[in-house]
Structure 1
């Protein structure tokens, strides 16, 4: 029988690294994907030292057009198939969309949208075969328009919509599909995006470790959309009370003040 693995993208830090730890603790063999080989190697050694199986380490820049083909080739070379797919990799950028680097924003779409979609479709036959699951990391940002972070919010709206639809298509085939929608999470994401966490992060934020633990539990229980933390669970309820134009204006005031443009 072909060995089964859990593939985790963006596994070198933050939620991705914590996902790796919680899946390994639950006896999954892992395939870890991220750009930084040294971080993946260190995480792999940590997992082995804790009694887990040695992960397959796949250093790969997921923003590149051939990234998904490289991942597929690495899995085939290792003689494994994917049972669970965790699409965690992604990044954001702060500022007015028309003022920021266009190529960088298009690379964001490549990673947040194209790569996630490619891996989901490319590996779905294996996941279906093994009656496994797909967990896509969206965001609370996927529920609202995001002035000051327009492309990122839009990309996460795509992830949420795509995941909800995929859940309906793959559910009858015995596949779990879950959308994880965290709020602000203390990680390297903020530094790359170009902002410092504010009061909203302190109120709504949940640790990467807690997010990962809930994500694992929710995927195994076949939950559809998951909002980590009490504060984040309230947000979808509040959004029903206000028109989207009001929400967009409120987000604009928060975001643009944070980046010194308000």
Structure 2
């Protein structure tokens, strides 16, 4: 945490998975717009470096919380720590998530259960904890990072695609429930994005990654931030990604699944 008094800035954004990729870029954008930050990630040293950098560059308050979000206790621990520090969260960004590539009957069960915990359970738990106060105060924003993967089944990344479909459905339902409360929920659904995600999942060699030009994480984050500020429910960065999301709604499901499987195969 840097030494600036948190009360000097009006609002605070909590961002999970903030040490790299889209999460880092979102944190940078919020800092640029004079938000206090609560940055959550497993990479403690990286978070401290980011906190120092943002304090020096943007003169904002940054609190770092080192947590493994695959542990079921993490959301409550984060919430309790912020309550004890009297830090009110005005914007919740559920960005943390990961995937795994391969045939479901061959992939590691433990890893997939951890994925469900991070991508689905932790996101849901954090939203439940922070949303109540947002509604009570009549103001707040939630940004859930889903994916263009949310719009169709994903053979060879079956669990990951399913988690992103959950996030999209969950976000759209909450957005409807919260109409008139002053609180908005936005689902950011990017396509393939330049980051270490593909290497970590083992999908770097797929046709999807090799044959498509990926958007930069900074560009995706800016689009997501703007949509969040405008109170949009769903935003899909990139014209091609938006078109594909519409097409799959009308194409035969078995055809869509075959195409996705082809794109997810190692080239």
For the aligned pair, the TM-score class normalised by the smaller chain equals over 0.9
1:140 has 2:148 as partner: yes
Alpha-carbon distance in 1 for matches of 2:205, 2:213: 11
Q: Which runs of 5+ in 1 are unaligned?
A: none
- SS at structure 1 position matched to 2:231: coil
Identify which of 236, 242, 262 aligns with 1:253: 262
* TM norm structure 1: 0.94
Q: Distance in 2 between matches of 1:139 and 1:73?
A: 30
Structure 1 residue 198: Cα displacement: 5.4
Using the alignment, how far apart are the partners of 1:19 and 1:126 within structure 2? Answer: 23
8 Å contact from structure 1 (residues 203, 231) kept in 2: no
Q: CA RMSD in A?
A: 1.7
Match of 1:61 in 2: 68
Structure 1 residue aligned with 2:20: 13
Contact 1:171/1:177 (8 A) holds in 2? no
Q: TM-score, normalised by structure 2?
A: 0.92
Corresponding residue pairs, total: 258
Residues of 2 paired with 1:52 and 1:165: CA distance?
Answer: 37
Q: CA deviation at 1:168?
A: 0.7
1:110 equivalent in alignment to 2:122: no
1:74 aligns with 2:74: no
How much has 1:257 moved relative to structure 2?
3.4
How many angstroms does 1:229 deviate by?
A: 1.2
Q: Deviations over 1:52-77 (max 9, x none)?
A: 31211001000001000110122123
Alignment-derived partner of residue 235 in structure 2:
226
Question: How do residues 166-185 of structure 1 correspond to structure 2 at under 5 angstroms?
Answer: 166-185=174-193
- Pair 219,70 (structure 1): closer, same or farther in 2 beyond 3 Å: same
> CA distance change for structure 1 residues 52 and 200 in 2, over 3 Å: closer, same or farther?
farther
Query: 1:55-109 CA deviation, whole Å, 9 max, x = no partner?
Result: 1100100000100011012212321111000000000000011111111111100
The answer on whether the counterparts of 1:205 and 1:229 sit within 8 Å (CA) in structure 2 is no
- Extract unaligned runs of 5+ from structure 2: 1-5
Contact 1:16 1:89 in 2 (8 A): yes
State the distance in 2 between where 1:238 and 1:185 align: 21
Q: CA separation in 2, counterparts of 1:215 and 1:254?
A: 25
